[in-house]
Amino acid sequence: MNINLVQARADTPGVKYVAHLNNAGASLPPQPVIDAVMGHLRLESELGPYEAAERARVAVERGHGALADLLNCDSDEIAMFESATRAWGAALSSLALGPGDRVLISPMEYGSSYLSFLHLARRTGVQLEVLPVDADGLVDAADLRGRIDERVKLIAMTHVPMHDGLIYPVAAIGRVAREFGITYLVDASQSIGQLPVDVRQIGCDMLVGCGRKFLRGPRGTGFLYARREFAEQLSPGTVGLDGVEWDGVGYRFAPAARRFDTWETSCATRIGLGVAVDYALSWGIENTWRRIRGLAAGLRADLASIPGITVEDRGRERCGTIALTVHGQAAELVRAELQRAGINTWVCLSNAACVDMRRRGISSLLRVSVHYYNSAEELARLCTVLESLTVGQAVQVAS
C-alpha cells in the first residue's frame, strides 16, 4: 500500500505552519493523538484526575498492548517510563554486574546512554569496552564473536544513531549474543516507528524506545521491553505499587517487565502514546518505512549535488536521518537560517554522540530527518535555502 500523503498531511495540523524535518528529535503529532491527550486533560478538569483515570482505564492500559503489537511481544513484557533514558537506566541498574565483568558497546551510543555506562563502570567496577567499526561505521558480528570470552556479561547496541543515517545489524549481533548466552540490550529510540522492529527477530533481552520521535507520540513517554524469561531474573532498583503483587505478608515482583511499572503516571500522555502506536500500525510500518527510505534517498542525492555541502552519514543501509555539514558555516547558524524560512532541522553536538563524533573529529552536524508526512515541496524548499546559503558563502569568499 502506498501512503496517502493528502490524508497524512490532513491528519497533521502542524504542516500548515512549518516544514518539519526534525522528526529524529520529535515528530509533529497527528490529530488523533492531540485529541486523545487534550480530551483526557479536559476529563481530569471536569471529573478529577483520579476519577478520570478510572474512567479511562482501558485507554491508559492500551499503551502496553499497542507496543506489544508493534514489537511482536506480549503486553506484560512492556514497562512504561517517561523517557528512553529512564528506561535505559532502569534496565542497566537491574542487572547483576560486578568488578571484572566486560560490557561491550558500539561507539554510536547516545550521550545519555554512554553516561549511564560510565556511571555503571564507576559504580560496579565493570570494564567498559567500545567496539571497533568498519568503513561503514558498523560493528561487525564476526569480529564481535572473536572478542567474546567468559567475562563478557552485556552487549549493548544502538539500532539507529541520533546523528547518522546508518542502521545497525542488530539481528546479526543478537545471534552472536544468543550463541554465547550474553545479555543483549538495544536502543531503538530512533528506529521505533520509522522501520520495522521485531524483538523476536532481533533476539534481544531488553530494548528501549520513546514515543516522541518517529512514533509521533507525546513527549515524556518511553518504554522498556524485557523478554519474559529474562525479566524474571531482574531486580529493579526502584519498585512501586504497580510493579509488585502483595501476598498478605510481603510482596513479589509483578510478572515480566511489569515489575518496572509504577502507579503514578501522566495518564494523558500514556493514552496519547497508545493512540500514536495504533495510528502508526494503521498505516503499516512497512509502508511508512518504504516512503521514509525513498524520501531520504532522494534528498541525500539532492543535497550531495549542492556545492559546499557534504553528506556525512554512513552505512550500507540508511534510514530517514541525514547528517550534513555546510562548508564554512556553523551548523547552528545554518539551522537558524532554515528556521527563519519555516523549516525545522536540528544540530547534533558532540556531547550527544560523544564517542563517534570525537573519533571522527566532528564537533557538530546539521541533522535533517524526514517522515512519511513530509512532501516533495518541503524537501525542495530545504535544498533551495541551503543552496542560497552556500552560494552566498562562495560570493563572500570570492569578494
Q: What is the DSSP string of 81-120?
A: ES-HHHHHHHHHHTS---TT-EEEE-TT--HHHHHHHHHH
Q: Are 312 and 352 in contact (CB under 8 A)?
A: no
- 40: Cβ contacts below 8 Å, ≥ 6 apart: 52, 56, 59, 267, 268, 271
As a whole number, mean pLDDT of residues 371-390 equals 97
C-alpha cell at 252: 513479589
For residue 132, the 8-state DSSP code is P
Q: Which amino acid is at 289?
A: W
In the structure, what pLDDT confidence band is assigned to residue 107 with cuts at 50, 70 and 90?
A: very high
Over residues 328-356, the pLDDT tens digits come to 999 999 999 999 999 999 999 989 888 99
Q: What is the pLDDT of residue 108?
A: 94
For residue 265, the 8-state DSSP code is -
Distance of CA 120 to the CA centre of its chain: 21
Q: Is 109 exposed, middle or buried (0-12, 13-18, 19+ CB in 10 A)?
A: buried
Distance of CA 124 to the CA centre of its chain: 27
Q: What is the pLDDT of residue 242?
A: 87
As a whole number, mean pLDDT of residues 143-151 equals 96
Q: What is the pLDDT of residue 241?
A: 84
Please state, as a whole number, how many other Cβ atoms lie within 10 Å of the Cβ of residue 362: 18
- 303: Cβ contacts below 8 Å, ≥ 6 apart: 309, 311, 322, 324, 368, 383, 386
C-alpha cell at 8: 497524512
- 151: Cβ contacts below 8 Å, ≥ 6 apart: 100, 101, 102, 127
In the structure, what pLDDT confidence band is assigned to residue 177 with cuts at 50, 70 and 90?
A: very high
For the whole model, what pTM was predicted? 0.95
Q: Are 56 and 271 in contact (CB under 8 A)?
A: yes
State what percent of residues in the chain have pLDDT above 70: 98
Query: Across-strand partners of 132?
Result: none
| DSSP codes of every residue in 189-201 | TTTBTTB---HHH
Q: Are 365 and 326 in contact (CB under 8 A)?
A: no
